Structure 1
């Protein structure tokens, strides 16, 4: 029976919460306009709810027809509160003869990860230290002020301008990591303060939309490195990634770019990748789909910037300066975000358990004071993906626990130096390009 076909007697019990279903029945409801999912063996019909989902339509739809227990726990720091919204959507539960996991998900790893999460919760590693984030915000504001004072005091010579641009790019990059924190977790007990600070950092300090970021970035965490579900691996035909996509493009004789040289033009395309992100931000900020509040916050960034720098450089000079700052920041952003993912497995949906899926898609960069600061602690990408609502100052404490579980169950836990991370981005692009060329010429 398909998603729109005739319902069975069990399926007609929607809304009464008394149905008993098999995994096969649940999996049938994984299409647009007909979506079910399972959380803790409870079956929910989310068909009408997806459009009102605060995290966006797509992220919840990616789990239609499958078990979403671990994803639900990962994204909702207050699950008891969220379950109030789930209650009206409950249509039944799995039959007692059905296993806890759907498809071929590893039941041992699933249980091991859930026990790890319970241990982490007992250790209090999801509790935040507001002072840590306040100090980080303070150092960003100090950089912003320093850039302006440099020009105001020492003038607009080329050396002063270059130094100003570097300081501004550093501020922008660090603001990016901080808004990432506010977007994922509740730094303050009163969520309205967290919500306000997120909009201030991403809107007033970055010129972007908090709503847009939430809807895009949560998809990346829900299904990392999975084509059609993770927007971060949608390169709009500029690159081919992993080992599957290059062969598919080669067989179909798709050649939008000379992919066998992508590891070379990657160095010229880094700013283009970030520009693509900025263009998507701008296009969505300029539509009514983005809240007016986000639009106001974003415009406040540009108003502040041009008010401060137009008197020194004129309009065209100010535009040139911000373009150069974006260029510098884009290289920083791309290398930090891609070194943890591009060298890892990138493929189509395989419906794997949470631990396996996240470990295949991420790797860590060695800890050091510089690496922590340079990457906004995203050098602990494994821990961040397993526990996206965990404050970054606790990653170093949870990492040994994660490593222990991986060693016990034979799961690969990759950690490398910063230089190796950068090098592997290039080598993986070269390998993918060679796979494309071979398939393009010989298959």
Structure 2
């Protein structure tokens, strides 16, 4: 669909603002912050109490959930959903990302900002430029060597690859700070170093080296899987845009995004990312307001003939895996890739 009706988003914005859906919810986030920090402290206490035992793999799995929930809160801070002040949100993001989780806030913000500006754009969205995956026929054909093999079987390898995502986030974001590619790289490196030293000191002081390595593998592996399954349903399998598309802001954001339906548990599980359409239209909308905005946005899209994609959680994963399987079809010699672009 081609449109130049920029006034559509202006009209929707007025409706959203009239309902107060962009107003800050500091109280909500204060309770949320207290909850995740409390969960973190309780998990650390469990590690200390359990000591040198294979039962440590239980708090390792719990810590993966806690880390991801903290990352969700850092995501909200990065979008200025928490505080009105940019400095306050940035400070919260640095503490939550670098110090608590060990993922560089500056690197993530740069990457995520580019994603929001051009979601699912083959040239401009960094989330569509992943070395071990392909989302279009052109991308699949450009892969060589080991990466070509992975793309050929990427649907089957997708979830196993997510086991490495946590390690990848730590390494790539730290490398960006080391290369001074982020503003305030000294502070970011200091906070990352504090995280690594504290994390390793806790793990290796509480258990034998073998159990400590197993703890790290389980924790970081499940952290990567949880992060991956939280972000994957949002855009994968939706239209991939190419240079020269003529979609206006509203249609660019809505047509490339997918919502995941469900109740309060889905909201908690995915950290509000299940309202991906509303989040992309209004990135600074506080998380508890997204579910209230959904009915308004869905109705608005219906009245303006804009396709609004939503499905259940497991159906969303089926869409992702099907798309990845089709993307590798030409490399397997079993068929043709699904359409790669929309304009």
Instruction: Report the alpha carbon displacement of residue 317 of structure 1 after superposing the two structures with TM.
Output: 4.6
Partner of 2:124: 229
Partner of 1:9: none
8 Å contact 2:162–2:224 — kept in the other structure?
yes
Question: Distance between the aligned counterparts of 1:253 and 1:345, measured in 2?
Answer: 27
Does the residue aligned with 1:256 lie in a helix, a strand or coil?
helix
Question: Distance between the aligned counterparts of 1:406 and 1:311, measured in 2?
Answer: 56
Alignment of 1:252-271 (within 5 A): 256-257=148-149, 259-271=151-163
Which segments of 5 or more consecutive residues in structure 1 lack a partner in the other structure? Answer: 1-103
Quickly say closer, same or farther: Cα 1:232–1:163, change in 2 above 3 A: same
Question: Distance between the aligned counterparts of 1:255 and 1:318, measured in 2?
Answer: 31
1:140 and 2:36 correspond: yes
8 Å contact 1:216–1:231 — kept in the other structure?
yes
Give the TM-score taking structure 2 as reference length: 0.89
CA offsets 1:289-316 (integer angstroms, 9 cap, x no match): 3321111121221222233332212566
Quickly say closer, same or farther: Cα 1:190–1:356, change in 2 above 3 A: closer
- Number of residue equivalences: 333
Partner of 1:69: none
1:289 and 2:181 correspond: yes
CA offsets 1:404-424 (integer angstroms, 9 cap, x no match): 121112111111111111221
Q: Out of 288, 292, 300, which is 1:393 matched to?
A: 288
1:384 and 2:261 correspond: no
Which protein has the larger Cα radius of gyration, Structure 1 or Structure 2?
A: 1
8 Å contact 1:150–1:164 — kept in the other structure?
yes
Question: Distance between the aligned counterparts of 2:192 and 2:165, measured in 1?
Answer: 20
Instruction: Tell me which protein shows more helix as a share of its residues.
Output: 2
CA offsets 1:322-380 (integer angstroms, 9 cap, x no match): 33211001111111111121121124232421111112211000131111111001000
Instruction: Report the alpha carbon displacement of residue 274 of structure 1 after superposing the two structures with TM.
Output: 4.3
Does the residue aligned with 2:238 lie in a helix, a strand or coil?
coil
Cα RMSD, aligned residues only: 2.5
Instruction: Report the alpha carbon displacement of residue 242 of structure 1 after superposing the two structures with TM.
Output: 4.0
Partner of 2:4: 107
Which of the pair has the greater relative contact order for Cα pairs under 8 Å at 6+ separation?
A: 2
Instruction: Tell me which protein shows more strand as a share of its residues.
Output: 1
8 Å contact 1:242–1:342 — kept in the other structure?
no
Question: Distance between the aligned counterparts of 2:172 and 2:331, measured in 1?
Answer: 28
